[in-house]
């Protein structure tokens, strides 16, 4: 009996503190306002874990390790264990929704810049403001006015068809037969606006490939720019081009089914066959000189298609005309820096002359910057004179040559294009007026030397193999050849330094 009483007191001693702790925890939980529900029943595993320290304390206090430990009463714990979601939401306020209840924000799709450039046939921007639209399924989704030939759109990534409104424009024409598409891989587009075709047609007589003879055709006039027009099937289509300015014009056809035949002469006198010299890849060049202005060129296109179809024809000026030698006028060169006749006194004191040996490989002449004259050997060597009214060992007097033939020179650029023509007859006649009366000499000035050099090149006086070559079988360097009519006074030989 005594042992039983001790066990009861020991049990009460252990259970009462545990119940007190549980009540305190319950009060604290309710006070926080985080959860209004009563605590749920703990699982068997968690209850056993919670009582293990108490069992250990009981064993230590009783020193009876073999005695079964006392257990917590469970009759009053009637709620189910919490679910994982409820456990995760413990400690949260009711006003704060859980992560799973947050609304999902819509994803904003980034926009792309689409650029449309409007150009003419030469590639230059269309300065006029044009209305550019982007379409989807035939409906306009965006519209902008071009600035300096450019329209910019900021839209969501998608596929758009470009349209340029030129319906009421008197000059430009947009060809919508070939769609221009912007999309993910093509955010820019360059569109050529064609020159609106004239409605005026001119009746001409030209050759028909369909019938094999000359017949009447209705020819359309074209100007600089690009036109989009229709060509007849299996027949030539003719166009009339009357340039307003001289120059080189490139004529180009853009078509997979038609061929540019070139041009057939003047529209007033059409030829059967093409006379374009550089026709290739549906393109050729017209060289229009000043003398050709007013002429109407007849351009021709042929098609093997069974039905009429659209083509693009472009006329573009690409530069000044190429001129033949006879097309370029001569520039007459006259003397500007003739010396005074004071040298006459010097020449009158000598009895003989020595001609410059142009075959001498060591020949040296120097322009004296102070007196503006050429000297032999050094700047202070003997003064060099030119036989202007007397014959040299290789040619008649230069005055005589100037009086009976043209003394000319032609100048070309690096590509071989003729730039100008100069004629020096007047310059030599001007110098002949101041020649000394005894030998017909004049001092060799810088402008006179330049004239002799240019005329010699133009007349081919020192080009080996030329019929005008002056030196027979002797090979003379061009650096010396221009002195063929030069000499010095024997009285001045003492000025030469060995």
Which 3-state string (H, E, C) describes 274-318? Answer: CCCCCCECCEEEEEECHHHCCCCEEEEEEECCCCCEEEEEEEEEE
Q: Quote the pLDDT of residue 104.
A: 60
What tokens were used for 263?
């041009």
Tell me: do 135 and 176 sit in the same domain: yes
Q: Please, is 419 exposed, middle or buried when counting C-beta atoms within 10 Å of its C-beta (0-12, 13-18, 19+)?
A: exposed
Do 366 and 487 reside in the same domain of the chain?
yes
In a domain, 366, yes or no: yes
169 and 212 both lie in a single domain: no
pLDDT, residue 390, reads 94
Is the same domain home to 121 and 84? no
Dihedral sign for Cα atoms in the order 18, 24, 28, 31: positive
Both 167 and 287 in one domain: the answer is no
pLDDT at 7: 60
Angle at which helices 44-62 and 2-32 cross, to 10°: 140
At residue 468, the pLDDT reads 93
Q: How far apart are CA 111 and CA 236, in angstroms?
A: 50
How confident is the model over 291-309, as pLDDT tens digits? 888 888 888 888 877 777 7
Q: Do the domain assignments include residue 317? A: yes
Residues 236 and 298 in one domain: yes
What pLDDT shows up at residue 430? 95
| 385 and 355 part of one domain | yes
Considering only CA atoms, which of 408, 385, 387 is closest in space to residue 396? 387
Cα 61 from Cα 58, distance rounded (Å): 5
Which CATH number do you get for residue 267?
2.60.120.380
Task: Identify whether residues 279 and 219 lie together within a single domain.
Answer: yes
Does 308 fall in a domain? yes
The answer to the question of residue 100 being in a domain is no
CA 94 to mean position of chain CA atoms:
68
Among 441, 355, 460, smallest CA distance to 399 is for: 441
Q: Which of 266, 256, 183 is nearest to 219 (CA)?
A: 266
By CB atoms closer than 10 A (0-12, 13-18, 19+), residue 448 is buried
Domain boundary among 287, 322, 357: 322
Q: What is the pLDDT of residue 34?
A: 46
Q: Do 6 and 149 reside in the same domain of the chain?
A: no
Q: Are 338 and 487 found together in one domain?
A: yes
The CATH number given to whatever domain includes residue 117 is: 2.60.40.1120
The Cα 162–Cα 155 span in angstroms is 13
Instruction: Report the number of distinct structural domains present in the chain.
Output: 4
Could you tell me which of 28, 36, 152, 155 has the C-alpha nearest to residue 93?
36
* 271 within some domain: yes
Q: For residue 37, tell me if it sits in a domain.
A: yes
Residue 73: give the domain boundaries.
2-90
Report mean pLDDT in 10-residue bins for the chain, 498 residues: 56 67 70 48 43 42 42 40 46 49 64 93 86 94 94 94 89 84 91 77 85 88 84 84 93 82 78 79 89 87 77 89 81 91 83 92 94 94 95 94 91 83 94 93 96 94 93 92 95 68
Give yes or no: residues 443 and 415 share one domain: yes
**Residue 488 domain-assigned (yes or no):** yes
Domain for residue 101, yes or no? no
Which residue among 195, 217, 250 closes a domain? 195
Same domain, 207 and 288: yes
Neighbours of 337 (CB within 10 A): 9
The rounded distance, in Å, linking the Cα atoms of 228 and 61 is 111
Write down which residue in 57, 90, 123 finishes a domain.
Answer: 90
């Amino acid at each position: 009996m005594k042992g039983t009483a001790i066990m009861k007191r020991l049990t009460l001693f252990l259970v009462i503190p545990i119940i007190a702790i549980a009540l305190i925890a319950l009060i604290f939980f309710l006070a926080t306002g985080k959860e209004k529900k009563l605590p749920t029943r703990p699982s068997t595993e968690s209850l056993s874990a919670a009582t293990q320290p108490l069992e250990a304390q009981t064993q230590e206090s009783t020193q009876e390790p073999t005695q079964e430990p006392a257990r917590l009463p469970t009759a009053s714990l009637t709620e189910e264990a919490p679910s994982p979601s409820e456990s995760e939401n413990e400690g949260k306020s009711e006003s704060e929704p859980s992560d799973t209840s947050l609304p999902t924000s819509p994803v904003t799709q980034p926009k792309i810049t689409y650029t449309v450039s409007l150009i003419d046939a030469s590639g230059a921007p269309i300065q006029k403001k044009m209305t550019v639209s982007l379409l989807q399924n035939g409906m306009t989704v965006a519209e902008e006015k071009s600035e300096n030939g450019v329209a910019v759109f900021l839209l969501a990534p998608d596929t758009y068809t470009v349209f340029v409104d030129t319906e009421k424009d008197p000059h430009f024409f947009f060809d919508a037969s070939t769609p221009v598409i912007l999309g993910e891989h093509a955010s820019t587009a360059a569109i050529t606006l064609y020159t609106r075709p004239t409605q005026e047609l001119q009746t001409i007589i030209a050759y028909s490939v369909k019938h094999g003879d000359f017949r009447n055709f209705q020819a359309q006039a074209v100007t600089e720019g690009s036109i989009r027009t229709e060509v007849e099937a299996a027949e030539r289509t003719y166009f009339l081009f009357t340039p307003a300015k001289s120059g080189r014009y490139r004529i180009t056809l853009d078509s997979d089914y038609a061929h540019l035949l070139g041009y057939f002469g003047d529209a007033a006198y059409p030829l059967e066959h093409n006379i374009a010299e550089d026709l290739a890849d549906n393109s050729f060049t017209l060289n229009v000189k000043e003398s050709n202005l007013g002429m109407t060129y007849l351009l021709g296109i042929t098609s093997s298609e069974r039905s009429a179809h659209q083509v693009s024809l472009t006329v573009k000026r690409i530069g000044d005309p190429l001129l033949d030698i006879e097309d370029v006028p001569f520039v007459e060169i006259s003397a500007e820096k003739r010396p005074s006749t004071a040298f006459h006194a010097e020449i009158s004191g000598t009895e003989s002359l020595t001609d410059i040996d142009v075959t001498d490989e060591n020949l040296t002449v120097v322009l004296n910057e102070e007196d503006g004259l050429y000297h032999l050997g050094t700047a202070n060597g003997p003064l060099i004179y030119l036989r202007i009214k007397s014959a040299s060992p290789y040619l008649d007097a230069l005055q005589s040559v100037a009086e009976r033939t043209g003394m000319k020179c032609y100048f070309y650029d690096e590509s071989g294009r003729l730039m100008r023509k100069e004629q020096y007859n007047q310059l030599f006649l001007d110098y002949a007026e101041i020649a000394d009366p005894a030998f017909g000499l004049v001092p060799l000035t810088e402008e006179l030397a330049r004239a002799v050099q240019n005329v010699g090149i133009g007349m081919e006086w020192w080009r080996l193999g030329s019929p005008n070559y002056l030196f027979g079988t002797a090979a003379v360097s061009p650096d010396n050849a221009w002195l063929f009519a030069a000499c010095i006074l024997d009285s001045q030989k003492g000025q030469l330094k060995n």
